[in-house]
Structure 1
């Protein structure tokens, strides 16, 4: 007899079902606040009732994603309403947040009552929210909650056109992912999970809803605690860890990742950027009882779509020529295909993925062309030209991979997109921001990738001879991790024999460790690209 597949669960279904089963277990630990599942549910439903008063709940809600208890309650409240949450970063330039709110079509902005939402609060009505004592019973009559084809969240990635792209993820996409993720991690009611990712970065969905699907506690570190993962894990008795690999490099440089220093960990995963064997070895020595996973996946494929589990004995690790841990094999339900530049199946080339985790398409359909392929590998694939992407369409990741046995190894990007501390950066968006500055005629942004954290450097032409004001202008427009560390004025941009900008020559021209302006004159956001200062920055992947 064929088993009947389980009905898809929404994010709210997962949390509420767990709250029914484990109302007195700890759901959330933030600073000095600890909330049980029952308390967090009551706060969330009270906020949902307030937001849905009048019987017509909002359909898209922006959320200023501060790491406070009320932010998590508000995230769940939006899910209970059946609305889509659009997390926005409190560290992003205000104008960028305003643009995101308008592009998303959000009809409401939620912000911690103690926070200033800035211009984002001008783009849609602002609703300050707070946790005040024990909430009364919430009346949610007439508000049925989300369906599995409703949008769960919209995240904005760096766009090559010079503007952010909205990635729409449905509850059905998250269910396909979380069914696998909960099983893979072995999480249960006695587990305690880290929450290292900002809510504007989709691995935070793993943190929250792997924990909240199983009765586990979600423990949110401060930025200082992220500098000392071993101390954080030990103090809070964490059993599960998930972060970008650069956290490991930072902790190791600060001598805060001693062998055997994390004995409580049973599972650890890394995603967002390549994981080196050096990083994996340091973490494995510090957490000898933990299973280690290297996970891969763009936001469009719902958090991660492939994974590789390292054997317990480092002597059994399958080394790769580029020194990075393989990204592994496809998650259940995901189909992967490697193609050459002609979209023919190959062992080395671009990675294409389809399946139930694949998003339905970008918020703006104009961003869809070039990102999909249709057809079957047994016949021939063709590039998607327009219209609504069908469920059988392949998403073109833009990542270069190579098959090595059963595993895939990540080789880099096909285009000018890079990752900085796990966050996706299109060099074209940074170039567009620089070119829009007064006195700049043209600009090229390159990345130095010969260091643990890539560093952006830029060359420009035009009448603006002093790079200082340009750097400050970029700091007002872009997140800190997208601001070039070096700006160099050139009389003209170098060209190759084909008449195209010679990026290798530009990189040589700007290859210096000297900042564009003295460090004392550099405002805080510019420091975010320096992994010596902080392992994580605000933004989306």
Structure 2
């Protein structure tokens, strides 16, 4: 992956690789030179260069330089969010077996809390003038460099312990090269870098830009929820975020028509993209193209996509009011499975060049892959390593149309039982969005006072009586799927990566229920 950046630096040395929120810029030549200097500093510090190096950093210039430097050292990068709880950071350090962590000045104090687990080194600030160039850092290239691990990201495991997902250079290069060819960015284009390093869409941000000569533009703390202002002031041409950002901006009445003429491409992933969200964004950026992309971390950022036509009247209409996630990228196969057999509605399973080789802890592989055995698909058992032609089970519920187009219906693990009935939360959210005053909706399940679970719904939009919404839902959903509580918010709480913070909403619903039970609300 670092060779990709080196190649861009040779072709476009004076193009701007990075622009921070405070206006600091770094050219491709300066970026590569600064990364080489970090390599020499680490190698000369007396610390043995391990196979994996952690990075605890903010979105500073030093952080981006350190990211590239770790790859140049021939190590696997393990990004650790500086905003994650210390206990979570410690668990990741231990799971990854880290003995060395790099930190930028803003994250230095927090990273020192991990010093009893690993050596912590401060990343030196890149100089404004890169001359004189350091001698390129020489590393021993492994025989199968492509199969070496480029990065490890951690996802939430069902046991509460994070699961390490190793992605090889071959996985990542397959993704980046295809996307660069598909989206055609280049020098002069300006691409957003919204996602935290610990979230896999950041790989799109960094390496699609740095693999093509485009400029990576870093937002300030509040820029993302005011997209028109930021896009206009920074002349953004390529946007990538979760769809929740659209709902936030629309709720603030900050998505006027024709307000983002500089946008050529807008890519959304990480959540379902609703038709209403896509229409609002298209009206604000009519000269641009919108793509809805899909992919779990285990399949290297995104692995399917659907590109919307310029004419909104031709867009496909789905049963849950969302934009399809499209079809797999070339070099990948997708099947829809139910009870071990292919069907048109069930769990999405994918294999191909971007599929990872298995979790950091091999015990996590059990049940996550399918293998064809005698005309039937069977889950892999413990101590059975996955083969390249095995299918990864995404845990996502999809429907496949006659032409192979996939529509995301929800998570298999987002199904909850209400009064003994299985309920898909996304189905209720889609029904709520049918009301003309509802911009977006989130439904969560919380513990009921008398046992079991109950539903709570939150909406963004105009002043609408919850009784009116429930009356509408009763007409189209079974009674057990109608939330007894519907509350309007000015804005949904968001995680650090811009996703709707569902656990926070569930906690809010629980707190409100407790106050009501005590007669204080």
TM-score (norm 1): 0.78
**Matched residue, 2:3:** 13
1:123: how far off?
2.1
Q: Report which stretch shifted further, 191-200 or 146-155.
A: 146-155
Matched, 1:401 2:398: yes
Which residue, 134, 137, 149 being the options, matches 2:133?
Answer: 137
Tell me, yes or no, if the aligned pair for 1:58 and 1:107 is still in contact at 8 Å: yes
**Matched residue, 1:357:** 354
Q: Do the aligned partners of residues 171 and 337 (structure 1) sit closer, same or farther apart at CA in structure 2, a change above 3 Å counting?
A: same
Partner SS for 1:370:
coil
1:163-190 alpha-carbon deviations (Å, 9 max, x no partner): 1111110000001111211111121112
Matched, 1:47 2:43: no
1:380-415 alpha-carbon deviations (Å, 9 max, x no partner): 222111322111110000111111232100111112
**Matched residue, 1:154:** 152
1:262: how far off?
0.7
Q: Could you list the runs of 5+ residues in structure 2 that have no partner in the other structure? A: 418-423, 433-439, 455-477, 503-521
**Matched residue, 1:228:** 226
**Matched residue, 1:27:** 17
1:505: how far off?
12
Q: Could you list the runs of 5+ residues in structure 1 that have no partner in the other structure? A: 1-10, 419-426, 428-445, 460-487, 496-503, 516-526
Matched, 1:105 2:97: yes
1:275-330 alpha-carbon deviations (Å, 9 max, x no partner): 00100001111111111110000000000110101111101101111000000001
Note the aligned Cα RMSD (angstroms): 3.0
Tell me, yes or no, if the aligned pair for 1:82 and 1:150 is still in contact at 8 Å: no
Q: Alignment length, in residue pairs?
A: 453
Matched, 1:348 2:339: no
Which residue, 379, 382, 387 being the options, matches 1:383?
Answer: 379
1:223: how far off?
2.3
Q: Do the aligned partners of residues 149 and 531 (structure 1) sit closer, same or farther apart at CA in structure 2, a change above 3 Å counting?
A: closer
Which residue, 119, 129, 132 being the options, matches 1:125?
Answer: 119
Matched, 1:57 2:54: no
Distance 1:372 1:26 in 2: 42
1:57: how far off?
2.2
Distance 1:96 1:401 in 2: 32
Tell me, yes or no, if the aligned pair for 2:244 and 2:500 is still in contact at 8 Å: no
Tell me, yes or no, if the aligned pair for 1:458 and 1:510 is still in contact at 8 Å: no
Partner SS for 2:255:
coil
1:458: how far off?
4.0
Distance 1:269 1:375 in 2: 34
Partner SS for 1:114:
helix
Distance 1:455 1:84 in 2: 38
Distance 2:262 2:137 in 1: 44
TM-score (norm 2): 0.80
Q: Do the aligned partners of residues 78 and 532 (structure 1) sit closer, same or farther apart at CA in structure 2, a change above 3 Å counting?
A: closer
Matches within 5 A, 1:93-492: 93-115=85-107, 116-118=109-111, 119-133=113-127, 134=129, 137-144=133-140, 147-340=145-338, 342-375=339-372, 379-386=375-382, 387-406=384-403, 407-416=405-414, 450=429, 452=440, 454=442, 458-459=446-447, 490=449, 492=451
Partner SS for 2:358:
coil
**Matched residue, 2:71:** 79
Distance 1:241 1:145 in 2: 35
Distance 1:313 1:510 in 2: 38
Matched, 1:68 2:66: no
Distance 2:350 2:483 in 1: 38
1:370: how far off?
0.8
1:102: how far off?
1.0
Q: Do the aligned partners of residues 185 and 141 (structure 1) sit closer, same or farther apart at CA in structure 2, a change above 3 Å counting?
A: closer
**Matched residue, 2:464:** none
1:145: how far off?
5.3
**Matched residue, 2:29:** 38
1:238: how far off?
1.2
